[in-house]
Amino acid sequence: ADDTASDTVESLFDSAKGIKVGGSILAIVAMAVGAVMVVMGYRLFRATLFAVGFVAGGVGVAMIVEHVFDDKSWVVTASWVAFVVGGLICGSIVVSLYSLGIFIAGAAAGVALAMMIHNSFGYEIYPSHPQVVLIVLCIVLGILGGVLTIKLEKPVLIVSTSLFGAAILVWGVGYFAGDFPSSSDLREYASKDINGDWVYSIPDAWWGYLAGILVLFVLGLFVQFRKTGRDGVYHKSRALGHREENVQYVEAQTPPRNMRYGDPVSHV
């Protein structure tokens, strides 16, 4: 094996080899969508569902294309096309299927959390094959997030939209600022020490990005629980930003007795 693994796959989602037009557009959109999702993700639930499905499907399909055609000069263009097509298809499917949409919303936050853990210390669990750790974390936390969202709905949906929005917003910033480690490919930070063990030099900037995600996440929780998502049950409405009111039931009571005529039944 090589002593270094710096020959990374050129990716739409990573600016390590320079800022590209496609990646720049994607980063700007991610910052805008992420900002809205942090503060109004639950209120604009159907739009959020589409965005989550678009990102999840688009990123998944694009990464498959990048790894299958990693030696081709046109891999970034193919990745961009795959991202858009895969995103549109998955976003539409997620919005049209309610239960699946609820699950995906929670699962996406679980995957975002898995990537944060992986970039922070998860890669050290199995340094020779960090991708295995990432896959396991994504599956476990994704399923856990999806199940919790189906069971508890509103509170977990607010947590999920706040975390996912914060993550994609900070990724957008990191694309331009640089040194945002790509969870799917940490090889550019890997090398072997004198004992032949893999060691990773994750950029110190990552801790600043992580702090930014956590701050935005907490801010999103505060705003959504206290303001934008407080009164409505928006995930049960088909209208964008329309809340489903809780129906109030009033127990029927027997009319009070007429003091002049007494019990009306006794006069029948």
Closest CA to 179 of 3, 14, 45, 5: 14
CA dihedral (234, 238, 240, 244) positive or negative: negative
What's residue 117's pLDDT?
A: 92
pLDDT at residue 189 above 70?
yes
Tens of pLDDT, residues 196-252: 777 878 888 999 999 999 999 999 999 988 887 777 665 665 544 445 544 444 455
Which of 77-91, 124-138, 171-185, 232-246 shows the lowest per-residue confidence on average (mean pLDDT)? Answer: 232-246
- Who's near 190: CB < 8 A, 6+ residues apart? 4, 5, 127, 198, 199, 200
Residue 168's nearest CA partner among 46, 54, 92 is: 54
Report the predicted TM-score, pTM, of the whole model to 2 decimal places.
0.75
Longest dimension (CA), the chain: 105
Q: Which of 64, 63, 62 is nearest to 82 (CA)?
A: 62
Question: Which pLDDT tens digit goes with each residue over 163-181?
Answer: 999 999 999 999 888 888 8
| Residue 77: per-residue pLDDT | 79
Listed in sequence order, the residues at least 6 apart from 55 whose beta carbon sits closer than 8 Å to its beta carbon are 87, 108, 168
Say what the pLDDT of residue 2 is.
43
pLDDT mean over 74-85: 81
pLDDT at 166: 95
Provide the pLDDT for residue 248. Answer: 46
What single string gives the DSSP state of each residue in 124-155? GTSTT-HHHHHHHHHHHHHHHHHHHHHHH-HH
For 207-213, which contacts have Cβ atoms below 8 Å and span 24 or more sequence positions?
209/170, 209/173, 209/174, 209/180, 210/116, 210/119, 210/120, 212/166, 212/170, 212/173, 213/116, 213/163, 213/166, 213/167, 213/170
